[in-house]
Structure 1
């Protein structure tokens, strides 16, 4: 079937005249060459390395639009009807380039510049200065070590979510009510949770939770001012929001399991505990691994609850890399250094997730 499709596509392309194909090829090549040369020259001009360039990046934006038109026209000229079909894909490609690829490379350009919005000197290229500063910045390393703790709590969240999913999968009264009730935290915004719980219920002087703890005999219930306790409190708040997400994924996996296998295990004399460890848990491994990896990806971006509750305090004890980057932008107006940390953290996340997926794949293969 695929060979028929390929041969049909080749036949359509072959029907286009050679001169038309050549014109389309040159249109695409010339447009691409001119656009990327213009981007390179503008980058050098913005970095102060050349005197030739535009005052703003708007002409480059217009050039991107013209380049897109030339690519579309070149595709049509070169491939004929097949080129017209490609036009349905090209808008998505251009959108990805404009919204993902270009901002990433532009961020790299900013990362290698000294750009503080509070300074009158403006932006100028400073090479690897930001990188060396980041390597020696104890605040960045502190935030990374904090992320090890926050990511480690995902395993605890998984255990709780699995238990709740087993409960909701059982034949109990009020099953629908409990499903909605357990999902309520996930329906709330993390910003709302941080203000509702962190700024209101856990407030040191008048918060109902801290007042209740005083009645129990705790003289100084400083849940958000003691370093280790503040970190544990934020982890608990974050878990309260995200455990329902893990629970619903695991519940979907449990409901997809074959009932015949579980019933056969009961007939063979397997108890509830042995049936779980020998039947349910192994069959749920693919869903479990997917759930944990997705949750780790979200956890690596943890910022909103930290920013709105403690702002990384006390003394950076609850800081995450994302909250540190936010404060570097907002409080210190240090765009260049903040972008360097953000780009380095992006590379770290990509490498970490790739290694995690590889380890998960090997683990799953050994279990088969």
Structure 2
């Protein structure tokens, strides 16, 4: 190789290795490390003050908030300095990620801290760390386990809701008169707030003295039509109101799935002489399995949050027969002002929901693979 070509190659190598305009990786890393160190120091000081290990004088979590905002800005600037154009693209997504961390991740971990404290708003002592006392109280709390058992009943009722919703979807997908009117009419409960439904139906329609449902029950021979007097009847009444509000949601999903099915397959089955039941069993239902599983899983997730109807109609009674975990946690906060124990209930229930939904998704995936 001649000496004349070496400077040209060195210049080409320098051009390839030179950082593009606007990039300064060293400065970006330095900025990110400095902001991270400041944030970690503030977090350590805030934790020491929160656990009363050393009175620093932080009266709120505002210093940590400012440190987080500073670190977020440094992270965005560091991405641009280190990665250049790719960092600029990442900076568009970064605010959403940081907002999720601030509004979801941090409150979850902060709630975990609150769960291990004795914090009653009606007490003069204020918040103090009490270790595993709240967890021990939860494990021995019969009302919590009763509410969790009630949730099992409510979740199982989703299967009945699914069957009714599927039947309505099949009906509205058929060529019937006034089909558009019935579609709007069946969607009306979905447009109402569950709180409004609880007052219109639970407090008015099913009122045991003057309610129309109670009057009709007396006319049919029921001497004391109190829909919320016995545990099993109260739980069934809550299930009926919840189903009336929730069935249209699954019906819409299933109706959309039915309308997306290819008409040629049904025509071929009809030409081959298949009856309506055979066509549904062998063609419609198997093809609708993905939509069905989606509707069921979404409905179960919503059911696990059931609280508003129970709170407004029965307040968990009689004797906790209609209580859900969410309504029980609500009363723990509102009636007893027990923030520490209520937060422990919420954190444990969050873990239960995550595990339960993960198992359902795993089972549904395996079942779908086997059926396909």
The root-mean-square deviation of aligned C-alpha atoms, in Å, is: 1.7
Structure 1 unaligned spans of 5+: 1-10
Equivalent runs, 1:1-368 vs 2, <5 Å: 15-16=19-20, 20-52=24-56, 54-368=58-372
Structure 1 residues 354, 294: closer, same or farther in 2, change over 3 A?
same
- In the TM superposition, residue 325 of structure 1 has moved relative to its aligned partner by 0.4
Give me the whole-angstrom Cα distance separating, in 2, the residues matched to 1:255 and 1:17. 54
- In the TM superposition, residue 331 of structure 1 has moved relative to its aligned partner by 0.5
Structure 2 unaligned spans of 5+: 1-14
| Secondary structure class of the residue paired with 2:280 | helix
- In the TM superposition, residue 345 of structure 1 has moved relative to its aligned partner by 0.4
| Secondary structure class of the residue paired with 2:320 | coil
Contact kept, 8 Å, 1:41 with 1:53, in 2: the verdict is no
342-351 or 41-50: bigger deviation: 41-50
Give me the whole-angstrom Cα distance separating, in 2, the residues matched to 1:12 and 1:93. 33
TM-score (ref. length: structure 1) = 0.94
Residue by residue over 1:64-89, the C-alpha shift from the partner in whole angstroms, topping out at 9 and shown as x without a partner, is 11111111121122112222222111
Give me the whole-angstrom Cα distance separating, in 2, the residues matched to 1:344 and 1:58. 27
Give me the whole-angstrom Cα distance separating, in 1, the residues matched to 2:30 and 2:362. 42
Give me the whole-angstrom Cα distance separating, in 2, the residues matched to 1:272 and 1:19. 68
Give me the whole-angstrom Cα distance separating, in 1, the residues matched to 2:295 and 2:313. 27
Give me the whole-angstrom Cα distance separating, in 1, the residues matched to 2:68 and 2:343. 24
- In the TM superposition, residue 17 of structure 1 has moved relative to its aligned partner by 8.2
Structure 1 residues 70, 232: closer, same or farther in 2, change over 3 A?
same
Structure 1 residues 13, 54: closer, same or farther in 2, change over 3 A?
farther
2:7 aligns to what? none
Contact kept, 8 Å, 2:23 with 2:82, in 1: the verdict is no
Moved over 3 A (4+): 11-14, 16-19
Contact kept, 8 Å, 2:42 with 2:63, in 1: the verdict is no
| Secondary structure class of the residue paired with 1:246 | helix
2:11 aligns to what? none
Residue by residue over 1:8-32, the C-alpha shift from the partner in whole angstroms, topping out at 9 and shown as x without a partner, is xxx9997348992122112112212
Give me the whole-angstrom Cα distance separating, in 2, the residues matched to 1:294 and 1:19. 45
Structure 1 residues 300, 79: closer, same or farther in 2, change over 3 A?
same
Contact kept, 8 Å, 1:161 with 1:250, in 2: the verdict is yes
Residue by residue over 1:300-339, the C-alpha shift from the partner in whole angstroms, topping out at 9 and shown as x without a partner, is 0000000000000011110000000000000100000000
TM-score (ref. length: structure 2) = 0.93
Give me the whole-angstrom Cα distance separating, in 1, the residues matched to 2:36 and 2:291. 44
- In the TM superposition, residue 214 of structure 1 has moved relative to its aligned partner by 1.3
Residue by residue over 1:19-59, the C-alpha shift from the partner in whole angstroms, topping out at 9 and shown as x without a partner, is 92122112112212321332233123112123335121111
| Secondary structure class of the residue paired with 1:205 | coil
Structure 1 residues 53, 246: closer, same or farther in 2, change over 3 A?
same
Give me the whole-angstrom Cα distance separating, in 2, the residues matched to 1:171 and 1:192. 33
| Secondary structure class of the residue paired with 1:314 | coil
Residue by residue over 1:148-205, the C-alpha shift from the partner in whole angstroms, topping out at 9 and shown as x without a partner, is 0000000000000000000000001100000000000010000000000001111122
Paired residues in the alignment total 358
